Structure 1
Amino acid sequence: MQRSTATEDLTSVEWRDTNWLERVGGFQNQHMVLEYFAMSPFWDRQSNNQILAMQTQYNDLKQSNEITMEALRKMTGIEFAVTHEQPPVWVIQKRYRRGPAPDDVNPIATYYIMGANVYQSPTIYSVIANRLLTSLFHVNSAFKETQSVMDFNPSKGYSWKTSKEKTDKGK
């Protein structure tokens, strides 16, 4: 059975649980970062991380981050991993693992924790589309402004209105 690798667009969502951070004393390691992230709406309850956590919640495997990472590498499917760590910023990647090699993964989405806040990073497509849309809006505004100061006479062709002509037509 193939799981869906689509990710809901939650780029407008900001999530935090300052009580949890105060209770545990902040982030001491990547395991705590993922534990905090698992409480957020961005977490996939069908991920390999969640399955492994459920299978190992009552044994010693839960305590060793290296053993957990090794077990995740042996699984295929959706997983979460901390890909960048520079406190107070952590970058978490949701990815599809195809095999045990480190490069046998396809990124699906990227999230980041800044301080106590968790966010979903926008895709490069959405960033470029937004920038393109903004630039086209400004180009359109420039054309409208140019059109408002332009005059056409069939015998003379196009000409620019003077400031006096603009004020006379405005009355």
Structure 2
Amino acid sequence: MASVDLRDNLLGISWVDSGWVPILNPTNVLEYFSERSNPFYDRTCNNEVVKMQRLTLDHLNQMVGVEYILLHAQEPILYIIRKQQRQSPTQVVPLADYYIIAGVVYQAPDLGSVINSRVLSAVHGIQSAFDEAMSFCRYHPSKGYWWHFKDQEEKERVKPKSKRKEEPSSLFQRQRVDTLLLDLRNKFPPTFYQPKPGEKPVPDNLLYMHKIARLAIYPVQCL
């Protein structure tokens, strides 16, 4: 006999008595369901009273209270038993349904439990997807937000590193260098060599310094 985990919520457990499975049929399935080890069976029901008094199940219609009936049978594999509250011989209120598949008893979930389970599963899936998406999100003050996926990281590892191209200098950089060189020229006045007839005097040390500085900062434009 299977061990039973007794909990308030019976939707997560099942029960079976393997000794009954080969002989189950519509005439004895209620007797099988009324086994004392079955956690789904309420021993205060009218079925138990009829059983103790050795009456037939037809007497259930004349009683008031909780009772169990065989609602559907599909031999030899499926039986459905209903728990209901009888208020009169013609009026009953369904309380729960139990289905027996190959001798294993389960409680059928109600509509509220089904909706609650579906909603929890959907919320869990959305939360997991959101957490996984956030793990690929990156931020930097100068770049802003971007996505960084694992496959991109693997491609970057496999991809051979190429030589970094030298970027051309900007107009601001060129103007700044010229300004610094002009300040340097004012602080350290250049010396002039004796020009030939018809030539303008050219500062030899300043010309050399200016070329060296421009070549060091933006060599592309100076070539």
Runs (4+) of structure 1 exceeding 6 A deviation are none
Helix, strand or coil at the partner of 1:97: strand
User: Corresponding residue for 1:12?
Assistant: 12
Instruction: Call closer, same or farther: CA 1:47–1:8 in 2, change over 3 Å.
Output: farther
Instruction: Call closer, same or farther: CA 1:149–1:19 in 2, change over 3 Å.
Output: closer
Question: How is 1:25-104 mapped onto 2 (pairs within 5 angstroms)?
Answer: 25-27=23-25, 29=26, 31-39=27-35, 40-55=38-53, 57=54, 61-62=55-56, 68-69=57-58, 71-87=59-75, 88-101=77-90, 104=91
Which of the numbers 143, 147, 152 marks the counterpart of 2:134? 147
Name the amino acid aligned to 2:19: N
Helix, strand or coil at the partner of 2:82: strand
Distance 1:121 1:50 in 2: 22
Aligned CA-pair RMSD? 2.8
Distance 1:47 1:93 in 2: 12
Unaligned runs of 5+ in 2: 1-6, 158-223
The one of the two structures with greater contact order (alpha-carbon pairs below 8 A, sep at least 6) is 1
User: Corresponding residue for 1:65?
Assistant: none
Instruction: Call closer, same or farther: CA 1:79–1:139 in 2, change over 3 Å.
Output: same
Instruction: Note if contact 2:78-2:100 (Cα within 8 Å) is conserved in structure 1.
Output: yes
User: What is the TM-score normalised by the length of structure 1?
Assistant: 0.71
User: What is the TM-score normalised by the length of structure 2?
Assistant: 0.56
Name the amino acid aligned to 1:92: I
- Deviations along 1:92-128, one digit per CA (max 9) or x if unpaired, are 1111111111xx2222121111122122222332222
- Please tell me whether Structure 1 or Structure 2 has the larger radius of gyration of its CA atoms: 2
Equivalent residues, number: 146
Name the amino acid aligned to 1:11: L
More strand per residue: 1
Unaligned runs of 5+ in 1: 1-6, 63-67
User: Corresponding residue for 1:4?
Assistant: none
Per-residue deviation, 1:158: 3.6
- Deviations along 1:37-68, one digit per CA (max 9) or x if unpaired, are 0012211111011112212x2xxx43xxxxx2
